[in-house]
Structures are given as structure tokens and as C-alpha cells.
Structure 1
């Protein structure tokens, strides 16, 4: 009977720890979404993705003996 009580006690401790972790996680999520919303919104605006076009510097295609097979010619 003592072994059974110890198993029940240990499983209760594990259950309590898991519940406390879940509550802590839920509270942290709520804080992030409500209290710290402005902080994270302003931070996200600083890191907006910017795109810029970089022209490709293409090279020539040569045969195994060094003859020119194809070349890139810019056109406008």
C-alpha cells in the first residue's frame, strides 16, 4: 500500500508541475498579446522586408576547348 501511495503522490506532483507550466504559458501568451503588443508591433515595423532588384552578372558559356558557345548581351 505504501508503494501505491508513493506512486500516486509522485504522479500528483508531476500533474501539478504540468498544470503550473501550462498556466504560466497561457499567462505569458496573454501578456504578449495585450500588454506588450505595442512594443512588438513597433519592432516588427522596423524589420519589414525590403526588396531590391539586383541585375544578374551573367557570364559566357564555353565549350570544353574554350570556344564561345553563348554570350549574354544586355538589351533595353
Structure 2
């Protein structure tokens, strides 16, 4: 993940996890997504189908553990959504 995106992540409001990301997508609040590279693809099927025809950018983070730590939670995180 680039330094520019890391800096932007720190400035934006965000939600962590699949359930919260789906809620934010349903409310059209997501500006971009950060997905852990080691997440199982089948877990993301609902998210990927929702963003299929949108222009929401997707970035990848090295692992679920690292993304969870970076998001400030004590557990692994598969996905983080940056909000409007």
C-alpha cells in the first residue's frame, strides 16, 4: 500500500469488517476499500458483487493481521471501507 493511501486512510472515517462494509455500501457511503491479501475470496463475494459496476477503488494490504492492527483493532480484519 502506498504512503499516499496510508496518509489518506488516517484522515478519513472508516468501518472495519465485512458486515459493516456491506452496510456502508448499501448506504452509498464508501469511497474506497482496503482488502487483506490473505482473505478467502468467497467471503468477499457480496462486497465484490456490490462494487462490480461502481468506480470504488480497491487497494490491498499485506495480511488480515496487519490490516487489523493498522485499523486499530485487536483482531484480524479482512476489509476496511473508507467513508465519505
Q: What is the TM-score of this pair, normalised by structure 1?
A: 0.19
Of Structure 1 and Structure 2, the greater helix share is in 1
Determine which structure has greater relative contact order: mean sequence separation of CA pairs < 8 Å that are 6+ residues apart, divided by chain length: 2
Of Structure 1 and Structure 2, the greater strand share is in 2
Query: For the pair shown, which has the larger CA radius of gyration, 1 or 2?
Result: 1
